Structure formats: C-alpha cells, structure tokens
Structure 1
Amino acid sequence: MSSRTAPGPPSALRHRPAWAGRNYTLLTGAAVVTNLGSNGALIASAFAVLEAGGSSGDVGLVTAARTLPLVLFLLIGGAIADRIPRHRVMVAANALNCVSQGAFAVLVLAGDPQLWQMMLLTALCGTGTAFFSPAAEGMLLSSVSGEHANRAFALFRMAVNGAGIGGAALGGAMIAAMGPGWVLAVDAVAFALAGALRAFLDVRHIAPREPGGSLVGDLRDGWVEFRSRPWLWSIVLQFSVVVAVVGAAEAVYGPLVAREHLGGPAPWGLALAAFGVGTLGGAVLMMVWKPRRLLLVGTLCVFPLALPSAGLAVPLPTWGLCVVMLVSGLAIEVFGVNWMTTMHQEIPEEKFSRVSAYDWFGSISMLPVATALAGPVESAVGRTNALWGCAALVVIVTAAVLTVPDVRRLTRKPVPALPTAGGPDLPSGGSAAAVAAATGSPAGSPAGD
C-alpha cells in the first residue's frame, strides 16, 4: 500500500500531529460537525412526538423506525463499502440524512405532524446511517498507523464526545426556548457540511479491491471473519442486549422521566451532556493508558452502563442523574477505545467494513424491538420496574461475557514503528487491522454520523 502523503493539504491541516494524516483530520472534523447536530436532534425527535400529543409508545415507535432500517440494510452497506470507494458511500448517506432531517424539521415547524410521517422520515435517516456507518469506520481505521492507533482513536473520540457535550446541552436549551423543529433543522445543515468535508477524503492509499466476486460472496467472507473469533461474536451478542435496554431506557423512558420529575427537556439535555463529559474524561485517560488485556478491562467498564437506568428508576434529582451519567460515560469510553484498538489489531483492512457491518447488525438487532415494546412493557409492569429490569440485564449479560476465555486473555500486541513523515494516511502495515464496534450511544460510534 502506498505511504505517500496527499498532495497540497491546506495550511490549517499542517499544524497537526505527525501521525494525524489528511483523512484522519477530515474525518474528525466532519464527525464533530454531525455530533453537534445529532445529539440535540435525538432529544428533539422525542419531544416532537410528545408535543404532537404522542405517548411513550409513540416515542418508542419513532425510535424503532430509525433503527429498523439499520438492521435491514447494514450488511448490504458493509459489503458495498468494501467494493467501492468508501467516501462516496459516506457522502451519499450524508445527503440522504440531510434531506430526511430537513423534511422532518419542516414538518414539525409547520405544525400538526402525523406519527406515520415522523416514522417515515426517521426511517430514511436510519437508512442513511446503515450505509454510512460501515464505510465510515473502515475509512477511519484505514487512516491510522498501527503504533498510533490507541492515541488516535482516543483523540478522535475526545473530539466527537466534546461536540456531543455541546450538542446535547445546546439542543435541550434550544428545544425549551424555540421548540424541537429548529434543532432538527440545525441537524440537517450539519449533515450537509459534514458531507462536503467527506467529499475531499483521499482513498489512493487503500489498495484496489480484487475485481469480480458477488455481493453474497463478500457477505460470506465477512461472516467467516466474524464467527471465527469468539471474543468478537460474544461481545456483539452482549451488546445486542445492552444497546437494546439502554436505548429503551434513554430514548423512551428518559424524556418521560424528565418531563414528569425533572422539569422538562433542558435537565435531560444536561444529563446527556454529563454523559458526554464522562466520555471526554475517558478519552483523556486513554490517551496515556494502554492496558495490556484490552477486552478484559473494556468489558469490566460496561457494568456502569446499568447506572443511568437505575438512576431514572429512583428517580434521582438532576444533579444525581448527571453524576451517574458522567461515571457511565467515562467507563464506556474506556471500553470504546480498547474495542477499537482490538479490532484495528485483529481484522484485515480489506474486510473492515464487512466485519463492521456484522458488528453493527448484531449490536443493534434487538434495539427496534426494545424501543417499540418500551411503551407496552411500561403499561404492563410500570416504568420503575421496567427501568430496574434494564439495569439488571446490563449486569447479567456483561458478567456472562467474562466467562469467555478469549475476552479475558486477549492482549495488546507490539506494533513496529512505521515512518510517518509529513503525516501520511497509513494503514497498519503488516499488522492486522479492523473496524471498531459501533453500538450507538452506549458504546460510542467511532466514526460519527
């Protein structure tokens, strides 16, 4: 693979670490832009449903409409992203997200949005994400050299999570002051700007794919890579439960608890911002800490994800909820960086996007069901019991994963230093590389939306 530098970078991009190449810088900037918009938009979509007279079940249906296309199209998106230039897939997906969120904003601002309309537009946004995510994660991991992976992933996540802090807090405040429609409009603009940045990504350093072969064959190759690693499929199975129950708790029950006990959307936005502060702290920690047993340390840090559900069940006052969200954010960021480093170390570059797609698919497969059933479960057992059940499931499945020998034993491998003069976008040389896990907000998306 070529190690040359992309010609003629803007002067602003020259003031960066030697290991942060053009693609890494553009990907980081674009992810920051989208996270500023998307963190507020997630809150806005829930309150748009509630302000239109919807119930907790309606909020769950709209959330499920976003995640169902992910389940349906992720595997196809991953295979396509390993067949054609990944940046083209990313830009096209950003364009779809821009249009769908813009239409959602117009619908809400015009007044009297119907549930089916909100579900349809949210489903279009989810479809864009299904094609975007595997391509983006493959692109991110191919832009980092092996010996700098831990620091690069930590810095990337620090920048993205920092944007999330501002996005969640600003989104909550904007909803309270101006209504959810304007927050959705800002998200549409953010997707347009991010797509423009991603259009300048350079893919010349990535070796051309071998011609021929079918889409089904590519999916089969990705499945072989996935199933041959017990540490990989066991943690993805774990997160299929964790993402589902945390998603139901925070996307459906959280806004309801905020409205009834905390005073509205602004305190809930503040709590989500505290989660972002925690992830920022975790990223700072991982800039200097390189644990030897990557997955053991990471899995232990999943246990605190039970805290927000428990805090909502009590319910804690705003300051208490902010504390537990901060702790869980810090812990899951440690998991996120260790997971990305493990995948970068273990999976071949040419299969990044396909393995990422199986990771995404497994991790979110139960999320549409969980969010759609959140309302009926609340009616059957009560919101408090449902939230305690969410917390208990996180603890149970995380403890179960620790029984897998490879999760406890897999260790960090030394990587020979590669030349990085001029800041080229280098893959990880002869060492194995991989796509990071993307499990939505619980695990942290490594590539942004």
Structure 2
Amino acid sequence: MASRPRPSPRRAPRHSAVLRERNFRVFFIGCTTSMLGTAMATVALAFAVLDATGSLSDLSLVMAARIVPLVALLLGGGVLGDRLPRRLIMLCSDWLRALTQGVLAVLLLTGSVRLWQLLLLAALGGVGEAFFKPSFDGLLPHVVSAARLPDANTMIGLGNSVAGVAGPALAGVLVTLTSPATVLMVDAGTYAVCALFLMLLRVPPSRSAVAGTGVLRELREGWGVFTAHRWLWTVTLQFTMFNFVVWAPYLVLGPAAAEESYTGAGSWGAVVAVYGLGSVTGGLLLLGRRPSRPLLVTTLVTVLWAAPSAALAARAPLGVVCAGALCAGVANSVFNALWMTTIQQYVPRAALSRVMSYVSFGAYSIGPLGLALAGPLAERTSISTVLAVGVCWQVAANACVLCLPSVRGVRLISAAGSAPVAGPAREHTPRGGPPA
C-alpha cells in the first residue's frame, strides 16, 4: 500500500516571520511596553496641568519645556549614537525617564506640585528622549536581518499603534477613576520594563566608525549625508512646518476643545484612542506590502493628518472628530513605516544615528514655538481659528511636495539589494554597506 504524501508544514506569513528572530522579539516587546506608558502619560500630563493651573498658557509652556531640550540635544545624541554603544545610551535614557515620571507622580499625589517643577521634570524627560531616539533608530537595523527590515519597521509601527489605542483609553479611565498621578506612575514602570528587555539583547560589540574624530567633524559628515539626498531634507522641512503649524496646536488645543465642547478627559481619550486604532489599521494594511514609490504614497496619505483638526475647528460631533482621528492614524502608520525603511536603506549604517538626529532636529526645531504660541493665540482669537490655519497649511504643503520629482522618484530597494532606476544616482543610489 502506497504511503500517502505528508502535507507540507504550514509556513508562517512572511510579514510575521520577523517576530521569530529572537533579538527583534526582545527589542519589540520592551519598546512596545514603553510606548504604552508614553501613550497613557500624554493624556495624563495634559489634564494634570489643567487641573493644577487651569491655564492654556501653562499647558503650552509645559509641553514646550519637553521639546526644547529634545531639540537642543538631538544632534549631540546622534553623535553619541554613532560613537558609543547604542543600547547603553538607550538604557541610560530609559532610567532617566522612569525617574522623572516617578517623581512627577509623587509630587502630584502629595498635592505639592508647582509650575516650575512641572517644567523641570518635563525638560528632563525631553533630555532622555533626545538621547534615546537617535540610538533607537540606529539600533533597529542591527537587531533584525536586512531582508526583514521593512516588516520590522511595520511591526514597530504596529506596536506603537496598539499602544496608541490601549494607552489613551486606559489613561482616560484611570484619570476619571483615580488621578493623573496614577497614570504617570505606570509610565515610569514601563520605562523600567523597557530597560530590562534592552539588557537581554544580544548585540555584538562593534567599533564605531567615527571614534577618535572630533564632534564637529562628525556633525559635518552627518550633514553631508543628510543633504546628499534631496528627498530627505525636503520631507524633513515639510515635517518641521507640520509640527509647528498643525500638530503643536492640535496637542495643546485638542484637550482644551474636548473640555469646552465635549466631555473632557473621556472624550479626548476616545479621540486619541481612535487615532491609535487608525494606526493599527494602517499597520495591518501595510504588513507584507512594499510600495515601490514609498514617498509618493506617504505624501498622498499624510494630508489626512489635518482631518481631526478640521473636525475640531468645525466643532463637529464627537463621532466626526473620531473619524478624522481614525484617518490621521492610518496616515501616521503608513508614513512612519515607509519613511523609516527608506532612510535605513539609503543611509550608511555608520552615519544613521547622526542623520536621524538631523531629521528629528529639523522636525522638532520650531515645535516648541508652536506649542508655546498655540494657547495664547487661541485665547486672543479662538481654538477653531488656530486649528483651521493648520488645516489649510497641511493641504497646501502636501500639494507642493507632491510636485517634486525628487520625492516622487524614490524607490524601495528590493530584498535582492537592487532598486529600480529612479532619477539621479546621487539621490537614489544607496550609500550604505552591508549590515554591521
């Protein structure tokens, strides 16, 4: 009797196979835990300031206090990320942020918090983020195989999106039932968990390509790589203005609009949670898919970033605001995954932290000004007026960027290591070597 052929083992989907890599799995769990706490703290901090002072101007100042040191130290963080072990920098940053959130929670619980303390602790949190972010962006290509890097970026974005759904929703419940201090204490714990998982990473020691050179020379070299790609600095400039005109007013005035026109913390938590749900949806749609023209796709979809601001400006029903937040979340997930993959493919690994520090520095450089101005401008005019200006800017800026051949022509590099021909070699030829 002939034996029946054995069925072939069922293969896991290609896009989920990245989680089978031990290093990436540890990295993913730790960082996603931290993202959950951060998403919770965003809601808690806004209402902690409003409860403590009741001033939109104070809320603007506290948010700006976090961004100012972030912008000021990002370039230095990029240099250190290319010079020192990136995991070590991330560990120190996580413990610093855990300490600042814990101290802030204790001050709120005791009822002794002052404005200067809020500003100082927010600034120290920004210091931690300034050193964490460039090293995070530079370490990811070292904890996953090159062929699975696009899926790794999508999974990181998906984890961030899930945290964006669960975090604000949980924060809204906890703020209502307990206090903002409880949420901030949980956030401190998530940073500690992330640090513990980072300690479990198996990253082979490597000698920095920039060790022994001067800081200014390293910055110049990073600037040279950054400016060599026209699409890189163009999109960074667009994102700089987006943070200033659109997102900073949204972060400051969104909670205030929820307090004024809806039901306060519960409504704002729902809007932020739905934004996260949109990010999850965008991540799921993108898993396993690699558009050949990534920046063309991101420019088309990121006009939706202005959708929740438009709904709030029109004082639309809460359901409409949530629908706008859902669309913005989808756009955010698509942008982050495709943008990061494009940079990681075209920028040399030895310069990746410095280049990402320039990207982040540009994106956040005038964000503090937007945060500081949003409250006073809304008090002089109205919340709707400030948000509407941002909506008009986003539509116009995306239309302009879409007209640029240097943005439309960028192609993702295939797994085989080649990219379709797309414009001038200076802009579209990958300059990086094999993975370190």
Q: Structure 1: which 4+ aligned runs deviate by more than 4 Å?
A: 205-208
CA distance in 2, matches of 1:251, 1:413: 35
CA distance in 2, matches of 1:211, 1:170: 44
- 1:244 deviates by 2.3
CA distance in 1, matches of 2:40, 2:276: 12
Q: Which amino acid aligns with 2:338?
A: N
Q: Alpha-carbon deviations, 1:320-377, whole Å to 9, x = none? A: 1111101111122112111112112100111110011001000011110000011121
**Which of these two proteins has the greater Rg computed from alpha carbons?**
2
- 1:81 deviates by 0.8
Aligned to 1:163: 163
CA distance in 2, matches of 1:63, 1:23: 34
Structure 1 residues 261 and 66: CA distance shift in structure 2, 3 A: same
8 Å contact from structure 1 (residues 89, 132) kept in 2: yes
* Higher RCO by CA contacts (8 Å cutoff, separation 6 or greater): 1
Aligned to 1:444: none
- 1:38 deviates by 0.8
8 Å contact from structure 1 (residues 20, 144) kept in 2: no
Q: Alpha-carbon deviations, 1:286-333, whole Å to 9, x = none? A: 113221111111111110011111111111222211111011111221
- 1:206 deviates by 4.8
8 Å contact from structure 1 (residues 85, 203) kept in 2: no
Aligned to 1:36: 36
Aligned to 1:214: 214
Structure 1 residues 160 and 225: CA distance shift in structure 2, 3 A: same
Q: Which amino acid aligns with 1:414?
A: S
Structure 1 residues 212 and 53: CA distance shift in structure 2, 3 A: closer
TM-score, normalization by structure 1: 0.87
**Residue 321 (structure 2) pairs with residue 321 (structure 1):** yes
Q: Which amino acid aligns with 1:216?
A: L
Q: Could you list the runs of 5+ residues in structure 2 that have no partner in the other structure? A: 1-15, 418-429
SS at match of 1:254: helix
* Structure 2 counterparts to residues 30-429 of structure 1, below 5 A: 30-204=30-204, 206=206, 208-209=208-209, 211-416=211-416
8 Å contact from structure 2 (residues 142, 203) kept in 1: no
Moved more, 347-356 or 241-250: 241-250
CA distance in 2, matches of 1:161, 1:87: 23
CA distance in 2, matches of 1:278, 1:374: 26
Q: Alpha-carbon deviations, 1:228-282, whole Å to 9, x = none? A: 1110000000000112233323321011111111111011111111011111111
- 1:172 deviates by 1.1
Q: Alpha-carbon deviations, 1:167-198, whole Å to 9, x = none? A: 11101111111111111111111111111111
Structure 1 residues 255 and 18: CA distance shift in structure 2, 3 A: closer
8 Å contact from structure 1 (residues 415, 431) kept in 2: no
* RMSD over equivalenced CA pairs, Å: 1.9
Moved more, 117-126 or 258-267: 258-267
- 1:155 deviates by 1.7
Q: Which amino acid aligns with 1:54?
A: G
CA distance in 2, matches of 1:211, 1:344: 21
CA distance in 1, matches of 2:177, 2:21: 40
CA distance in 2, matches of 1:152, 1:81: 20
Q: Which amino acid aligns with 1:381?
A: T
Percent of matched pairs sharing the same residue: 36
Structure 1 residues 397 and 18: CA distance shift in structure 2, 3 A: closer
- 1:131 deviates by 0.3
CA distance in 2, matches of 1:318, 1:409: 39
8 Å contact from structure 2 (residues 18, 152) kept in 1: no
CA distance in 2, matches of 1:363, 1:117: 27
Q: Which amino acid aligns with 1:74?
A: L
CA distance in 1, matches of 2:324, 2:211: 51
Structure 1 residues 142 and 242: CA distance shift in structure 2, 3 A: same
CA distance in 2, matches of 1:30, 1:48: 27
Structure 1 residues 216 and 263: CA distance shift in structure 2, 3 A: same
8 Å contact from structure 2 (residues 246, 390) kept in 1: yes
8 Å contact from structure 2 (residues 161, 333) kept in 1: no
Aligned to 1:424: none
TM-score, normalization by structure 2: 0.90
8 Å contact from structure 1 (residues 238, 397) kept in 2: yes
